[in-house]
Amino acid sequence: MTHEPFKFCEDFERFAEGLHVGLFDLLHTGVALLSNKGVFLYCNKAFLEMFGFTNGVIGKSVTDVFITGERGVMDVIRTEKPVISSSLTVNNEQGISFRYPIHSKSGELCGVVIESIPLSLGKEKLQMLMDTIHNLEEAAQHFEQARSKHVGRLFTFADIVGESAALMHMKQLGQRFAQSNEPILLWGESGSGKELAAQALHMASPRSAKPFVAVNCAALPPDLIESELFGYDAGAFTGARSGGLVGKFELANGGTLFLDEIGELPLFVQAKLLRVLETGEIQKIAHRGPLFSNFRLIGATNRNLQQMVQDGKFREDLYHRINIFEIRIPPLRDRLEDLPLLVRYFVEQILGGSRAKDFYVSREVFELFNKYHWPGNIRELKNVLTYSLYSLPPESNVLTSSGLPMRFIKGLDNSHVAEHERAGKQAYQQAQPSAATAPRVAAKNKKLSEVSAQAEKEAIEQALDRFHYNKSLVAKFLGISRNKLYKKLHDYNLLDK
């Protein structure tokens, strides 16, 4: 397929709206046109039917429509090179999708064309091509992992940001345990950085030059976990790839296998994992004779495996086999002294070096960060900063409390409640509300538009107490402007408080 370059990107969008694109409806293959931002401009009938869409998809981003959009169309936009991969239709029929960049005469990226071919077109030939693509995708993934080690993309202990006592203790244990070949069990809350620690353990070990293979056990359906881990030969079962599948155990030979969310493994797979750890022998599905793999296992979980053993949901023998070295990843609330370093790291990562150099985070923001419980840990901190920094005007060079997301502001109340309960203060927050205090408590999570006129003053007073008379936070929490807040403070004689 050849394309005549368009003079301007706008011409491509006009082309996608033109009557002549209706010719694509005569094709049996799916065709879609997207802008250079990844937004759908046109889809032919075959494309809509293949993926169960309506014309409502027009105007939506590909990442909002396809969970693989980031790896497909957005890769084309980033690299300006074609991307070919397998696809799955709404009827679970496999196929192949070709994604081509469209350039203007000046070389500017105008958009992306998707061509999707269902498996029913030349089934035997397409099945062979699809298996080849699957194998190339898998090989490319592990090649990228191996290449990333040489360019420093796998984290080391030196890359993990922070100097708190809790973090330094974790690093010291990790550097020592990394020298052994025995399994390591990482325990940490969601978002605390378990995979970063696993990468650092691999890089600190004698196996650092070998593959690091990561598997999220919670993301795989139970009926696919065994084949993903052990692999299978051609013809192993109905629906198997004609070329077979190399399992993760085999791919990790000589290196490290990281099983994230190891507690989610089905019991029958746990039994087989125990045998692999004991013997090094892999029973590849439909393979004649055993295979052997020498890998170091790192498991990670945010669950209480001991309790799961008692409940019969995790094998006791496997628990003792993988729990030789246990490392606890400290939650962010236990390492608040690392906040300045973490904030600076994420500011530089989000804004880039030039703008981040002259950017500041106010003291009041750090005070609020230190009072927050951080249930989502490092991941939540990054998300809060990402929202805050992108919501600022381009000319702004300082982050104040008024730029923080409302979900964080409301979450502060829960953090304060826990803090006051521990300190034995503010009894009204610990006790059930009486009839006299019920309107005050009932109003505390509502905007002024939702609160009765009689309770308005009380709601403002409570917000002032909660946010220590920080007017920006009070206005944001109540859902009104600062000017309107000051007017109400004047009306209720609260300005002098």
Do 130 and 94 form a contact (C-beta atoms < 8 A)? yes
pLDDT range class, residue 17, cuts 50, 70, 90: low
Lowest model confidence (mean pLDDT) among 403-417, 420-434, 436-450: 420-434
pLDDT confidence of residue 272: 94
Point out the least confidently predicted range of 21-30, 46-55, 192-201, 301-310.
Answer: 21-30
Distance of CA 54 to the CA centre of its chain: 28
pLDDT at 134 over 70: no
Query: In terms of Cα–Cα distance, which of 430, 403, 423, 412 is closest to 468?
Result: 412
- CB of 242 closer than 8 Å to CB of 128: yes
Q: Which fold has domain 8-120?
A: Beta-Lactamase (3.30.450)
Percent of the chain with pLDDT over 70: 76
**CA–CA dist 126, 133 (Å, integer):** 10
The mean per-residue pLDDT over the stretch 150-161 comes to 80
Confidence class for position 56, pLDDT limits 50, 70, 90: confident
The boundaries of every CATH 1.10.8.60 domain in the chain are 333-404
Task: State how far the Cα of 444 lies from the Cα of 116, in Å rounded to an integer.
Answer: 53
Choose between 67 and 376: higher pLDDT.
376
Query: How far, in Å, CA of 64 to CA of 3, rounded?
Result: 28
The residue-averaged pLDDT of 325-335 equals 96
Q: What is the pLDDT of residue 432?
A: 34
pLDDT at residue 291, as a whole number: 84
Radius of gyration of the chain from its Cα atoms, rounded to whole angstroms: 28
Identify the pLDDT of residue 439: 40
Please say whether the beta carbons of 350 and 311 come within 8 A: no
Distance CA 350, CA 386 (A): 7
What is the predicted pLDDT for the residue at 171? 97
C-alpha to C-alpha distance for 296 and 253, rounded to whole angstroms: 9
Q: Which of 148-152, 179-183, 393-397, 424-428 has the lowest mean pLDDT?
A: 424-428
Residue 275 has pLDDT above 50, yes or no: yes
Residues 401, 403, 407, 410: is their CA dihedral positive or negative? positive
- Per-residue pLDDT at 335: 96
pLDDT at 147 over 50: no
Q: Give the separation between CA 432 and CA 108, rounded to whole angstroms.
A: 64
Look at residue 230 and tell me whether its pLDDT is greater than 80.
yes
Quick one: tokens of 386? 């990402």
Tokens of 486: 């000051």
More confident residue, 418 or 182: 182
* Cα(297)–Cα(311) distance, integer angstroms: 24
Q: For residue 375, is pLDDT > 90?
A: yes
Residues of each domain in the chain carrying CATH 3.30.450.20: 8-120
Q: With a cut of 60, say whether residue 120 has pLDDT above it.
A: yes
Tokens, residue 179: 């020298």
Please, is 91 exposed, middle or buried when counting C-beta atoms within 10 Å of its C-beta (0-12, 13-18, 19+)? Answer: exposed
Phi, psi of 180 (to 5 degrees): -90, 165
Q: Rounded to whole angstroms, how far apart are CA atoms 432 and 352? A: 49
Categorize the per-residue pLDDT at 130 as very low, low, confident or very high, splitting at 50, 70 and 90: low
pLDDT of residue 305: 96
Architecture in CATH of 451-492: Orthogonal Bundle (1.10)
Q: What is the mean pLDDT of residues 251-269?
A: 96
pLDDT in tens, 338-371: 999 999 999 999 998 778 888 999 999 999 999 9
Q: What's the pLDDT band for 333 if we cut at 50, 70, 90? A: very high
What mean pLDDT do residues 280-300 have? 86
Q: Let me know: does 32 contact 40? Beta carbons within 8 Å.
A: yes
Q: How far apart are CA 83 and CA 371, in angstroms?
A: 47
Cα–Cα distance for residue pair 289/301, rounded to 1 Å: 33
- Residue 203 is predicted with a pLDDT of 96
The mean of the pLDDT values for the chain is 81
What is residue 415's predicted lDDT score, i.e. its pLDDT?
A: 56
High-pLDDT (> 90) share of the chain, %: 44
For residue 90, the model assigns a pLDDT of 67
> Does residue 280 carry a pLDDT above 70?
yes
- The pLDDT value given to residue 55: 80
Burial annotation 398-411 (CB, 10 A radius, 16+ → b, else e): ebbbbbbbeebbeb
Least confident of 9-18, 282-291, 339-348: 9-18
Which class is domain 333-404? mainly alpha
Residue position matching structure tokens 């027009």: 58
Cβ contact 16:33 at 8 Å: yes
pLDDT top residue among 414 and 325: 325
For the segment 75-99, what is each residue's pLDDT rounded down to a tens digit?
A: 899 988 888 887 777 666 777 888 9
Edge-to-edge strand ranges of the sheet holding 325-328: 212-216, 256-260, 296-301, 184-187, 325-328
Give the global pTM: 0.58
- Beta-bridged to residue 118, according to DSSP, are 95
Give the list of residues 6+ apart from residue 481 with CB closer than 8 angstroms, or none: 475
Lowest mean pLDDT among 146-150, 261-265, 324-328: 146-150
Q: For residue 115, give the H/E element and its range.
A: strand 109-118
Q: State pLDDT tens for residues 440-481.
A: 444 445 555 554 555 778 788 878 877 777 777 788 778 788
Indicate if the pLDDT at residue 424 is higher than 60. no
Burial category of 497 from C-beta neighbours within 10 Å (exposed 0-12, middle 13-18, buried 19 and up): exposed
CATH of domain 153-328: 3.40.50.300
Task: Tell me the CB-side half-sphere exposure of residue 69, using CA atoms within 13 A.
Answer: 14
Q: Tell whether the model's pLDDT for residue 65 goes beyond 60.
A: yes
**Backbone torsions φ then ψ of 146, nearest 5 degrees:** -65, -40
